[in-house]
Structure 1
Amino acid sequence: MQRLARIRRSVEELFPERHLYVRTGGEMKGFVLTPRKQMAAASVVAGGALWLGVATAAMLVNVFSASAADREIARTQAKYERWIADRQARLNSAVAQLNSASGSTDELAASIEKRHAALALLLTDMNDTPGAQAALTPAISRALSAPDANPVRRVEMVRVSQEQLLDAADTFAKGRADRLRLAFRMAGLTPNAYVPKGGALGGPLIESKDPRALAAVLDVDEGFAARIQNAARDVSDARALDAAAERLPFARPTANAPQTSRFGVRFDPFTRRPALHSGLDFGGGHMAPVVAAGPGVVAFTGQRSGYGKVVEIDHGRGLKTRYAHLHAIGVQPGQRVAVGQRVGGMGSTGRSTGTHLHYEVWVNGRAQNPDRFLRAGAYVREAS
C-alpha cells in the first residue's frame, strides 16, 4: 500500500492538476486538466513517437538492404561482363590471327590439326564404352552440318566444334562413371574396392600429371591438354567401373521366370513360423534353365542340407552366388563360367514344396538381398 501511495504521489507531482483559461469575445472559460487526462495525452504522444521511430528504422533497413542487393547484382553483372569480354577477346584473337597473314593462317590450321589428333586419341579410347556412340553422335552431326563460305569462319567453327565435342565426351564419361558408382552402391558395394587403382587407360593422356608435360607430348596448348587429360580420367573411371560391373553377378539367374518369394523374414512353409529367407525364389517349369548371374569359377556342386542339389559360383573379391533345389547340375567344380551360361535345370530337391529356383548372393560370408544386385544390374543396362 505504501508503494502504491508513493507511486500515486510521484504521478501527481509529475502531472499536477492544471487549470486552463481561454478568453473568447469577452467571455472567459476555464478547463481543468486532471492528472489522468494529462497521462492519457502523454501516452498518445509517446505512442506516436514510438510509431514514428519504428517506421523510420524500417525505412532505413529497407534502404540498406536494397543497397546490398544492388551491390550483389552489380558484382554478378560485372563478373559475367568480364567472362563475355574474355570469350570475345579470344574469338577476336583467333580471327586476327587468321586475317593477319597466310603464314599465321597455316600455323593456326596446324594447331587445329594437332588438337584434332589429340581429340581423336581420346575418342578412340571411348570406342568400346557402352553408349558413347549415341551420346557423341549429336555433337559430331552439329559439327558437320554447319558449312560456311568464309574460310575464316570455317576454321573458327572447326575450333568451336572441337570444344563442343570435347565437352560432350567429358560430360558423357563423367555421367556414366557416376551412374555406375550409384549402381555399385545400390548393390551395397563400395565402388573403389572393385576398381584397380591404376585405372583402365594407360598412355600419356592420364600418366602425365603435369598438363604442361602432356601439352608437350601432344603438341597442343596447355589449356586444351588439361581438358583432354580431365576427360581421359573420366573415360578411364567409366571403363574401369564398366569392367568391374561385368565381373559382378548383376544378371538374372533365370530367363523369364517370375519371382515368387523375397529376401527376408517370412513364414516357413513347413513350420508355419517366422524364419529368415536368405534369398529369392523364382518359379518355373521342370528343368527350366538356370544360368550364372555373373562370370566366375564353380566353387561347389552337389547336395547341401535343406538346399537339395546346389551349384555355387565364386565371382572373386568375396562374392558368391548359390543356385539351389536344382533337378540337374550342368557344371563341375573348378569350371570357369560366363554370365548367362547354363549351370543346371530347375527342380524341387531338398526342402522344397514345388519346382522353383532358390537364389542367394553372399558377400564376405554374409547373405545379401539378391534383389539389390538385380536392380543394380538393370540400372547399369539402362545406361548402355
Structure 2
Amino acid sequence: MERLARIRRSLVELFPERHLYVRSGGEMKGYVLTPKKQMAAAATVSAAALWMGVCSAAMLVNALSASSADREIARTQAKYERWIADRQARLNSAVAELNAGGGANPSLAANLEKRHAALAMLLTDIRGAPGAAAALTPVINQVVMTSDTNPAHMVETVRVSQERLLDAADTFAKSRADRLRLAFRLAGLTPAAYMPKGGALGGPLIETKDPRALAAVLDVDEGFASRIEHAAADMSEAHALEQAAQTLPFAEPTSGTEKSSGFGVRYDPFTGQPALHSGLDFSGAPMTAIHATGPGVVSFTGVRSGYGNTVEIDHGRGFKTRYAHLAVISVSAGQQVALGQRLGGMGSTGRSTGTHLHYEVWVNGRAQNPDRFVKAGAYVQQAD
C-alpha cells in the first residue's frame, strides 16, 4: 500500500493540476487539466509513438527482405548469362578446330551453331524461372568438350551435349507447367481460364504452332525446332499460371497454427444441430498474426453478426476472402494490401467458443473450401 501511495504521489507531482485559459471574442474561458486527463493524454501519445515505431520497423524489415530477394534473382540471371556465353565460346572453339583440321563438314558445323543459337534463346527464357538453376545446373556442368582432336568425334560430342541440355530444359518446363496446372485444379479452377485471352502465349520461340515455320525462322532441322517450341510453350504457360497464382488467395492466413475445424456440415457448438461451416478454422494463441492470403483491396473492416471483428479482401476476378473473430484489426477499408501483409491479431470476438481464426474464400458470391486453396498454394511453392 505504501508503494502504491508513493507511485500515486509521484504521478501527481509529475502531472499536477493545471489551469488553461483561452481568450476568444472578448471572453475568457478556463479549463482545468486534472492529473487523470494529463496521464490519459500522455498514454495516448506514448501508444501512438510506439505504434509508429513498430510500423517503421516492419516496413524496414520488408524492404530489406525485398532487396535480398532481388539480389538473389540478379545472381541467378547472371549465372545463366555466364553459362550461355561459356557454351557459345566452347562451341565456337570446337567449330574453329573442325574447320582448321580440314576434316569437318562445313554445313554440319554451321548447323551446330544455329542449334546453339536456338538453344540459347530457350535457356534465356527459362533462366529466370524458380527452380531452373537446381534442375539444369547438373546437366550444364556435364556438358563439356572432349579432348579428342578427331573432327568427327568433336562434332558428335557437341551434338550430344546439345541434345542433353534440350532434354533437360524440356523436362523441367513440362514438369513445372504440369505442377502449376495441378495446383489450379486442386483449387477447383480451370487453368485455361487464367491464360492470356485467345490462348496467346508470349515469346519468339512459340509465335507459330507450325514446326516447319519455326524451323525456317531458326534455320535448324524441323525435329529440333519442334522440341524447342514444345519446351518454350510449356515454359510460357507455366509463367502465365505463376503470374495468375500470385494474384489469387493461395497462401495460409496464419503460421504455426493448427486447423481445428474444416469446411462443410458439422454440429454447431452452440445449438448442437447440424449446420454448414462455411470456412476453415485455425486455432492459436491470442494476438497470433493474421496475414492476407493474396494481394487485393480491403473491402470491409468492422463487426459482422456472428463473425465479430472481421476483415474482408477483394482480390479481383470474383475472389474474396474473409478473416473473422479477430481481437484487433490493423487495416482499413479501401487499403491496398500485399500478399502476407498483417491484417490483425487472432481473437475470439463474435460467435466463438475460443481463440481462433475463421477463414473463408468466396468465388463469384459462393463460399468455397479454403483447404483446397491452401493445398493449391503448397503445390505452387513446390513448383518454385
Q: What is the deviation of 1:333?
A: 2.2
Name the aligned partner's letter for residue 162 of structure 1: Q
Structure 1: runs of 5 or more not aligned: 1-97
Q: 1:369 maps to what in 2?
A: 369
- What is the TM-score with the length of structure 2 in the denominator? 0.70
Displacement after TM superposition at 1:271 (Å): 1.3
* C-alpha distance in structure 2 between counterparts of 1:112 and 1:382, whole Å: 35
Deviation of 1:281 after TM superposition, in Å, equals 1.1
The aligned runs of 1:238-277 (5 Å cut-off) are 238-277=238-277
Structure 1 partner of 2:216: 216
Q: Map 1:109-258 onto structure 2 (within 5 A).
A: 109-144=109-144, 147-197=147-197, 202-258=202-258
CA deviation after TM superposition for structure 1 residue 104, in Å: 5.1
Q: Cα distance, 1:162 vs. partner?
A: 0.8
How far residue 223 of structure 1 moved from its aligned partner, in angstroms, is 2.6
Deviation at 1:178, TM superposition (A): 1.4
- Distance in 1, Cα, partners of 2:301 & 2:102: 76
SS at match of 1:254: coil
Corresponding residue for residue 344 of structure 1: 344
Structure 1's 375 and 209: CA in aligned 2 closer, same or farther, altered over 3 A? closer
Structure 2 stretches lacking a partner, 5+ long:
1-97
CA gap 1:270/1:137 in 2 versus in 1, 3 angstroms: same
- 1:118: how far off? 1.0
* 1:265-294, Cα deviation, whole Å (9 max, x unpaired): 222121122211111111122221100111
TM-superposed deviation, 1:103: 8.2
AA paired with 1:118?
Answer: A
Residues 125 and 276 from structure 1, CA distance in 2 versus in 1: closer, same or farther, beyond 3 angstroms? same
* Gap change, CA 1:357 and 1:228, over 3 Å in 2: same
Distance 1:315 1:200 in 2: 24
**Paired letter, 2:190:** T
Q: C-alpha displacement at 1:221, in angstroms?
A: 2.6
1:307 CA displacement: 0.6
The share of aligned pairs that are identical, in percent, is 72
- What amino acid does structure 1 have at the position aligned with 2:264? G
Any idea what SS the aligned residue of 2:352 has? coil
Structure 1 residues 55-83: Cα deviation after superposition (integer angstroms, max 9, x where no partner): xxxxxxxxxxxxxxxxxxxxxxxxxxxxx
Measured in 2, the distance between the counterparts of 1:102 and 1:298 equals 72
Residue 198 of structure 1: CA displacement?
A: 5.7
Higher Cα Rg, which structure: 1
2:293 corresponding residue in structure 1: 293
For 1:227 and 1:298, locate their aligned partners in 2 and report how far apart those are by CA, in whole Å. Answer: 45
The AA in structure 2 aligned to 1:309 is N
The RMSD of aligned alpha carbons is 2.3
Deviations 1:304-362 (Å, cap 9, x if unpaired)? 11111111112222211110011111122222222111111111111112221110111
Corresponding residue SS for 2:143: helix
Q: Separation in 2 of the partners of 1:148 and 1:244?
A: 49
> CA offset at residue 226 of structure 1?
2.1
> What secondary structure sits across from 1:282 in the alignment?
strand
**Is the deviation greater in 145-154 or in 165-174?**
145-154
User: Deviations along 1:105-147, whole A, 9 cap, x unmatched?
Assistant: 3443232122111111111111222222222222212212755
Structure 2 letter corresponding to 1:180: L
In structure 1, how many angstroms separate the alpha carbons of the residues matched to 2:154 and 2:283? 63
> Under a length normalisation based on structure 1, what TM-score does the superposition of the two structures give?
0.70
SS at match of 2:162: helix
Asked if the contact 1:325–1:348 (Cα under 8 Å) also holds between the matched residues in 2, the reply is: yes
Offset at 1:199?
6.0
Shift of 1:227: 1.9
Count of aligned pairs: 287
Is the 2:266–2:276 Cα contact (8 Å) retained in structure 1?
A: yes
1:302 is matched with 302
Evaluate the alpha carbon distance shift between residue 172 and residue 381 of structure 1 in structure 2; reply closer, same or farther with a 3 A threshold: same
Taking the TM superposition and a 5 Å limit, the aligned residue runs for 1:66-105 are 102=102, 105=105
The 1:199/1:246 distance shift into structure 2, 3 A limit, reads farther
Whole-Å Cα distance in 2 between the matches of residues 335 and 149 of structure 1? 67
Distance 1:110 1:103, change over 3 A: farther
Counting only pairs closer than 5 Å after superposition, residues 308-323 of structure 1 correspond to structure 2 as: 308-323=308-323
Q: Which runs of 4+ in 1 moved over 6 A?
A: none
Deviation, structure 1 residue 149: 4.1
CA deviations over 1:149-172 (Å, ceiling 9, x no partner): 434212211111111211221122
**2: CA distance, partners of 1:208 / 1:127:** 22
Q: Offset of 1:235 from its aligned partner?
A: 1.0
Matched to 2:273, the amino acid is: R
Distance 1:198 1:130, change over 3 A: farther
